[in-house]
Structure 1
Amino acid sequence: MLKNIQEWILLFVIIGAMIIIGNWIGYDIMPLQAIPGIITLALISLAGLIIHRLIPSKKIPSIAYIGLLAFILTIPGFPGSEQIVTWTSEVNLLAITTPILAYAGISIGRSWADFVKLGWKTIIVGMFVLVGTYLGSAIIAEITLRIQGVI
């Protein structure tokens, strides 16, 4: 498990650096402002991954532990919750998603054999999901903007 933790920490450092750069360039948030939030998010994620490894249930994904831990730590009244919220509010969500999606793409790219096993139907389903998500978002935006009188 120590090797996994070392790999996770290295991954968090690399992704954290990418988030700092994206946060700085895209959202004008200085790196020193974002570092505490990135470290906090990385520590919560690391703790969730460790909990996932320690608890033998394989039915619960690690993201559930990470989300639950983050939820508990940010409950108003929980010691330090205000500070955690302050730190993490300096990290823009889109600055986080870009490197994570890039990592997911690289992970899929490394295992093309597994991707090919999924078959051509997966590509069609994926295209429908993307188109449906885009159209759904566009329709909701259109309705919301018309209600507000913007368009």
Structure 2
Amino acid sequence: MLRNIQEWSLVLVIIGIITLVGNWIGYDVLPFQALPGMIVLILISLVGLILNKLIPLQIPAIAYISFIAIIVSMPGVPGSELVVKWTTDVNILAITTPVLAYAGVAIGGSWADFAKMGWKSIVVGMCVLTGTFLGSALIAEVILRMQGII
């Protein structure tokens, strides 16, 4: 377990550094300004990953991470104002670049396994991505219309 925590920490710190640089270049937010928010995001992710290993339920780690993030940012929770203030300085698109790059490297390491799945996996993947995009667009459209923004 300790080895996993060390590996997760290293990966999260590397992603955090790349995100800070991307946030600086793309969104003109100085790394020093966004550092507290990045530390909060790294700690939330690390705690979620640890809970995923400790709790014997078959729930994805992202569920734990999301749950923790929601709790620590809810109004009324001590310190939530600081969490929201700090994490606001980290642009979400700056985070996606290193995460997608890491995912690409992880998938790239197992091209042989991917090739064994055949062309059907590509079709399924494209359908999943298209459905996710269309579903997200539909939800956004409905919510924005309900709020009178569009």
Q: TM-score range by the shorter chain?
A: 0.7 to 0.9
Q: Residues 15-30 of structure 1: matches in 2 within 5 Å? A: 15-30=15-30
Q: Which has the larger radius of gyration?
A: 1
* Inter-partner Cα distance in structure 2 for 1:6 and 1:129: 33
Sequence identity percentage: 62
Aligned partner of 2:79 in structure 1 is: 80
Distance change (3 Å), C-alpha of 1:120 and 1:61: same
1:111 aligns with 2:110: yes
Q: Residues 37-116 of structure 1: matches in 2 within 5 Å? A: 37-57=37-57, 59-116=58-115
**Bigger mean CA offset, 125-134 vs 113-122:** 125-134
What do the CA deviations read for 1:34-76 (whole angstroms, capped 9, x no partner)? 100000000000001111111112x201111110011111110
* Inter-partner Cα distance in structure 1 for 2:5 and 2:133: 37
Match of 2:84, as an amino acid? V
Aligned partner of 1:5 in structure 2 is: 5
Q: Which runs of 5+ in 2 are unaligned?
A: none
Distance change (3 Å), C-alpha of 1:40 and 1:110: same
TM-score normalised per structure 2: 0.85
TM-score normalised per structure 1: 0.85
For the aligned residues, what is the CA RMSD? Answer: 2.3
- How many residues of Structure 1 are paired with residues of Structure 2 in the alignment? 143
What do the CA deviations read for 1:12-49 (whole angstroms, capped 9, x no partner)? 11101100010000000011111000000000000011
Match of 1:78, as an amino acid? V
User: How far off its partner does 1:113 sit?
Assistant: 2.2
Distance change (3 Å), C-alpha of 1:41 and 1:134: closer
SS in 1 for 2:70: helix
User: How far off its partner does 1:133 sit?
Assistant: 5.8
* Inter-partner Cα distance in structure 2 for 1:35 and 1:25: 15
Match of 1:94, as an amino acid? L
Q: Which runs of 5+ in 1 are unaligned?
A: none
Aligned partner of 1:120 in structure 2 is: 119
